[in-house]
Amino acid sequence: MTRNAGNDDVDALLGHFRAAASPLRAFLRDLHLQFQALRDGRVADYIPELSKADPDWFGICVVGTDGQRFEFGDFEQPFTIQSISKPFVYGMALAAHGREATLAKIGVEPSGDAFNSIVLEADTHRPHNPMINAGAIATYSPRSRATSGIRWRWTWRCSPRSAPPAIATAPLRI
């Protein structure tokens, strides 16, 4: 048993109490209550997986840097994240390859293009930024020789709690 084992248990227990008393918890609870009945718009159907969403699903989950969790509504409902993955993948590319190597392949300038744009800069042949599809594709290029399963696990290695159980527990071999 480590010297801090007892302290770790106390910290874990107190973390739940700190989260329960947090002003952020009250704000998020009120936010969830305010918007849970909203039914504007329609479920997107231009990607088949998006069309499977139930418009009644609505959840909020925020995890602080200290591990505190704030959860309301359908926060455990699995859903497809589509383009929301782009900032996470870009962050992992920065961590894996460094700023200079990443910037050599992908710009960071606003493009004004739609998220599904495949436009490159005329002089460098780089995508304008990692939040459009051309940039997201370039972000994956260092792993382009890997199989799609390995790339998927690479995407989720920094966040196994977010990944499906089969992916979160699969060994990562690159």
111-130: average pLDDT: 80
Find, among 112, 107, 113, the residue nearest to 128 by Cα.
107
Q: What is the pLDDT of residue 97?
A: 79
How many angstroms separate the CA atoms of 83 and 132, rounded? 9
41 dihedral zone (left: phi>0; alpha: psi -120 to 50; beta): left
Q: How distant, in Å, are the alpha carbons of 18, 33, 66, 67, 69 from that of 6?
A: 18, 38, 18, 18, 22
Q: Tell me what the mean pLDDT of segment 113-134 comes to.
A: 81
Q: What is the per-residue pLDDT across 31-53, written as a single tens digit (0 to 9) for each?
A: 999 999 999 999 989 888 889 99
Average pLDDT, stretch 62-76? 87
Amino acid, res. 54: D
| pLDDT above 60 (res 162) | no
- For 103-119, how does the pLDDT look when each residue is reduced to its tens digit (9 = 90+)? 888 888 777 777 777 88
Average pLDDT, the chain: 75
Domain boundaries defined on the chain: 5-73, 82-143
Between CA 98 and CA 96 the distance in angstroms is 6
Element (H, E) at 72: strand 69-73
pTM over 0.75: no
